[in-house]
């Protein structure tokens, strides 16, 4: 694949802002997944560790690939879902080094919080 058609995109925010939920929606609407995973049900694709599923938080950054078509050109999007909890900041820092861009997720009700 042509490297100019690959994008590394991180999903970043504070804890419980909805990073994994946004990621699950992206995977669904790009056709990567046939069903939307839910964090509160423990069915989120990106929360693959048992502890993540039990606690309902992302502990380890997780990456997946999905297709994205724009103007007749097919791109490969490498999505990286990062943790939001302060105890896992190193995971976010590692992920940031490989990103071409990021999606910052903010809780509309709570606004900007620590770790945003």
Longest dimension (CA), the chain: 42
- Measured CA to CA, the distance from residue 85 to residue 28 in angstroms comes to 25
Give first-to-last CA distance, the chain, whole Å: 34
Q: Is residue 15 part of a domain?
A: yes
Domain encompassing residue 48: 3-104
pLDDT averaged over every residue in the chain: 83
User: For residue 45, which of 21, 68, 16, 11 has the smallest C-alpha distance?
Assistant: 21
pLDDT band at 101 (very low <50, low <70, confident <90, very high): very high
Which CATH number covers residue 31? 3.40.50.300
pLDDT at 75: 95
Look at the pTM and tell me if it is higher than 0.85: no
In three-state secondary structure terms, 7 is: strand
**Mean of pLDDT values over 80-106:** 83
Provide the number of structural domains found in the chain. Answer: 1
């Amino acid at each position: 694949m042509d490297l100019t058609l690959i994008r590394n995109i991180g999903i970043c925010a504070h804890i419980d802002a909805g990073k994994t939920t946004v990621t699950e929606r992206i995977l669904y609407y790009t056709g990567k997944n046939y069903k939307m995973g839910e964090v509160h049900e423990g069915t989120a694709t990106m929360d693959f560790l048992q502890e993540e599923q039990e606690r309902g938080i992302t502990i380890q950054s997780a990456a997946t690939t999905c297709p994205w078509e724009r103007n007749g050109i097919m791109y490969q999007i490498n999505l990286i879902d990062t943790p939001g909890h302060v105890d896992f900041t190193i995971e976010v820092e590692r992920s940031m080094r490989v990103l071409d861009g990021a999606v910052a997720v903010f809780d509309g009700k709570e606004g900007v919080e620590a770790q945003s």
